[in-house]
């Protein structure tokens, strides 16, 4: 009887999201050529590319990775709709931008006006920036809502703050 009560108690607990390494389960391996990444995104039926501009020792970047980007629900949703890459705003790693120009991560970040970190920029399948979010979200749910905002195309007609209020309103 005690085992039955224990089993029932565990079955009534709320589901706990699985926590996984964001470097493995959120971000994809970069080819270093974002023009090529766009072709991959198109061929895989994605909505576009999401880039997280970050830097070492950024406490807000670390917070996002430790509390939001490590959640399986966030990882699964974003990987379903986007190719996702980190870019170091101070990095000297060579890369090719969305227009096919050779540059470095640092120069690309400056061109994209990614000064504070983290900055999340969503790009459409043509390489155009469609949504920018600077800083951290409070919860995984809010970050997923940001993804929905882009996937649903709400960015074309309203701000993210207005969208959040509309979605939360009964």
**What are the boundaries of each domain within the chain?**
18-168
123, two tokens: 């790009």
Residue 72: pLDDT band (50, 70, 90) is: very high
3-state DSSP assignment of residue 134: strand
Answer for the pair 131, 113: CB distance below 8 angstroms, yes or no. Answer: no
Q: What is the pLDDT of residue 101?
A: 96
Give the residue among 170, 124, 126 at the shortest CA–CA distance from 150: 124
- pLDDT higher than 90, residue 16: no
Q: What is the pLDDT of residue 21?
A: 81
Averaged pLDDT, 138-157? 96
Answer for the pair 85, 27: CB distance below 8 angstroms, yes or no. Answer: yes
Q: State whether the Cα torsion 119-26-95-125 is positive or negative.
A: negative
What's the pTM value of the predicted model, to 2 decimals? 0.87
pLDDT averaged over every residue in the chain: 90
Averaged pLDDT, 39-59? 96
Buried-exposed string 85-106: b where 16+ CB fall within 10 A, e elsewhere: bbbbbebeeebbbbeeeebbbb
**Higher pLDDT residue, 31 or 154?**
154
Q: What is the pLDDT of residue 7?
A: 45
Q: Name the pairing type of β-strands 48-54 and 119-123.
A: antiparallel
CATH topology of domain 18-168: Glutaredoxin (3.40.30)
């Amino acid at each position: 009887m005690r085992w039955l009560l224990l089993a029932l108690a565990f079955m009534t607990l709320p589901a706990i999201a699985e926590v996984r390494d964001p470097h493995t389960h959120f971000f994809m391996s970069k080819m270093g050529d974002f023009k090529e990444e766009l072709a991959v995104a198109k061929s895989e039926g994605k909505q576009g590319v999401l880039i997280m501009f970050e830097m070492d020792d950024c406490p807000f970047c670390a917070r996002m990775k430790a509390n939001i980007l490590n959640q399986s629900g966030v990882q699964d949703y974003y990987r379903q709709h986007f190719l996702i890459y980190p870019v170091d705003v101070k990095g000297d790693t060579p890369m090719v931008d969305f227009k096919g120009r050779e540059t470095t991560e640092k120069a690309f970040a400056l061109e994209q006006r990614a000064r504070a970190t983290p900055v999340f920029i969503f790009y459409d399948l043509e390489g155009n920036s469609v949504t920018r979010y600077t800083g951290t979200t409070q919860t995984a749910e809010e970050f997923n809502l940001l993804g929905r905002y882009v996937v649903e195309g709400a960015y074309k007609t309203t701000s993210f703050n207005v969208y959040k209020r509309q979605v939360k309103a009964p």
